[in-house]
Structure 1
């Protein structure tokens, strides 16, 4: 009934040594009783106590019981049928008809009673043999990796696997490693023509994923040429469907050749690049004449904006340092009186376009509420990193407006100023913001000239890091002088004093760049974009085949980057005037999934925002393309090499759809050789079984109950 093959117990020999005195003690206790009871009752009580003590010994010596079961598991053969569009390719080999004929022969052969049929493409599903002739052969991709993943945890006894396909992988990874782990031979039946035909294709495009606007970058194309030696073809290069360049190419005699292009992007952002070869007469397929890639174009220069409440020496020195770096585009807004500024610029535009904000003595008493709120919005809502120096003239009452976004807070106001010097420890010197060309940077920092600090009590926020503390008259204090803060995607740095220009003046004489390095290192740290966003939404790939299901994944975090599982997240997808909404579902740990089914080719834009309790946590957007190239029609040649390799490396054999003589006999032989049962071994830790513990307590309780009822002592 239970198919138990064997039972074993792993028990320490000391268990039996301890068992002897336990049994002897139990017999001794009930040899004579007061008052006297009959022999049968004494034996009953002895058994209760002995069994309870035996269970206690189990807990002490931790025995493990092993049980082996023999389960009959009849071998099963699995047949997988390629349901992708490529089966409909007309290459004069009758792909579809040969495939259906093979399935009919398999279902009527000697193996039919022990065989399960599946179709595969993008996904894998079980089908009946009769339904194969009704397959639409419309799967947009062929994914062998998903095929093997679907049977990874297959519980039945797999005798062999038969795969009927053209062997062309259009999605996923090469599955040979997965196949070898199956432990069953794989017989492949090739569908289609394996001979190479005249064809021209763009095999691959090599370029950097991130490149800079207004900076030339190289693009390398690998072109496959089969049968068109010394002919001329036209290559057209498009950016977001607009022609960038067109040139004629003379094809070499080799099967593959390289072509180098120069690309000069004008504007930042995500760009769709399309490379198209003109059609030549007699090509077996023109689908592979086109290649589409997406690239991210970055700003060519970091835009640093310096906002000052009034002119000062700190302002001049910081601007001078920033302007000396050719990779920066530096702008400034300097207030000189109420509603008067040194520069005649569009202040709102500069703030909106800035990558990093430097606030020097800002805000001052003359700063308007409009400008202050504009800066607050840029920091709070647009996550612009900021570097603030509490330079002379700053208005601390107005600074309270910015305080929630700063790395420090004002504990108490006080009058007067003090001269303070920086003090840095060896541990703090490990911070890259403090690096410079000084051989002994620690000593250099600790010997910088004094700067002026207002006597207000300023403290670092709990999530902030104190980079430099201060000292007065060489007495170190625990008070911060330079503080940094990184909270989610927000970054900020604060220097809690003014007259820091003195640091550059002193070190410049020794040709030390400690001031410049600190300013520029801070800017680079602040401008470094984190890979992880608070809300990240992505399609599983950039280019989908027509008819392929569009899958989105998303990650949602709060400001401290803890996963959020209960957010409301929808993704809006747009193509021209067509709009679609994808409802994203939480799968736990801040991860969300959603799918969209559309059958219209084109370039789609998507955007989404995550909300929790009515509050927006974050947003993300992007692009993807559907149907630009029908990937199933790109390679019309059966990949015989892949199918043969898959069979050989798993102990199977390769056949073709028009000649599979002997296949069913091999499968039957394999089924007979395959063991029709398997041994399942289970181990049970008796000492940790709560039911045995409960039984021991029950037995002790019963013994006590019967002793008391009999008046025994």
Structure 2
């Protein structure tokens, strides 16, 4: 530490000269005194006055004392260990260890790097956390997110000297940001150790399937399945669809050598209502190391009757035509269409294909009560009687019916909605005007998690499809979100809601504030995609709208029926009082148990109210073992039990981690080379410790202390003069 003194007054040289003069003057005036005093007292008094002058002039020089302190930060090495499920495989590692077991042993040897710096261990999969030692890892993560993990570790250690990172992983990165870009952003050497076999393994996997989540008794339901096989010279096996131990359908599957995909369609016909559990299985083949991806489980809610939908439009249009096609393509929906061809007169088509001309909008409770859902597309309300509008409101709020408002150029603020009772059903407030320029719809965080916008069973494919949908050509300007409503998608620039959902009494409502969405169905087919994605969106919306959730005052459910291994289970509760008004201060408890009678210890979870309130409570449970589970829950308010609810869900053994289990040497090499790191395998990983060159970081801290305005100097100056004056007075000096 150094203490340089800076004198900032430009007149400092002059003041130094003046100081010498004043010191000489102090000595001179005490050369002769009256009355005479001793020589020692003369010297003392001269010293006091000279010192007082020096202090005064020192303060006038504006002195500043500078402190410079140097501190050494020892380097930190972050060891990121892959804790995902693919690390439990046993392939191409010494001594027949699993990938994780080898990583744990090797990580222990890295403790010798403590001679060069501080070694910190982190476990990562979809999330990252610091761990005290490698032994705590169990290989139970449901995904691998290298990019996020590296950035998160760098953020946690931002106040320390993070000098290098070491990845112990198979590189099967299947979620999150690009790890190469993350390594470049972090800006430190990243060393990667690739664990596992990089060759194509023998494997046959059910990678995707698509079927209805809701079906109806005695309806034949298709299920489209995608199978991937690799590592086999040739051969054939069988895809089997079962319920319990009964085989419902089968299809042949070819065994291939190089990651080929093939599709198969199976069928099942439920004969009873309720929740049915089905299993897709491919027998395990000789030499196949990954068995977990040979089985997929799904649940179907089987109902007695089809969903009755009334689709109405203010005029014939492409949107009306393509929405009609999507609804008719769903075997579980009976749709009646009505397009206005003259003011107040509609052209109607019934589910059986019968056509009727010059039909009025249904105006009685009996006629409207026939439908579970009424879709008002680009509708001007001047052609619907006010009494009928109020009747629609009553049916939604009191009977649990649903209304879907769809935008257009002549509806909402241009269609008489401001003075209509229907405006109270909308999830959002009205804006003014339209946006007549193309835009790409943007999902909100709530929309990314919503089942309504899940257009494929694979979340990654679903995300891609929302980026692939063609731009819309226009939208209605909508206003603020009403309490309890949820915005699922918005305009990317205007931030006006495009898709929003809400509840009104016992029913549900939804708004789609845009037009030209026919392009999503038509053009997707034109660029090699399927119209199924748009149809899936429409079907999801219809099923969400018609599913009654507030007939019970306490409703508790999970965000999915079937989870992949490693996924987080999210519980949501809706709590209502006797008048079906939301309750925000209830106590909500959930207990989860295993249905199979295993040694699973029941989990007790308290659900907490969301920040938005409106009677909605949420809670999560981290990854559970593969099994069938059931849950029960209750709500209490002011020491009174409000109600209970039960449910069930399944955690399948299938995981993203089993879709591609090869060690990704190419990715790990790119990550390492991006910041002067190096790639290793178990064969040469022993060189890593010699290749890591670390340097301590020297931190210089500079601090300045201003002396010239320090009060103690003034006190000292006055004190010296006071002591001199007291001594002179005592000796009677003039």
Q: TM-score, normalized by length of structure 2?
A: 0.48
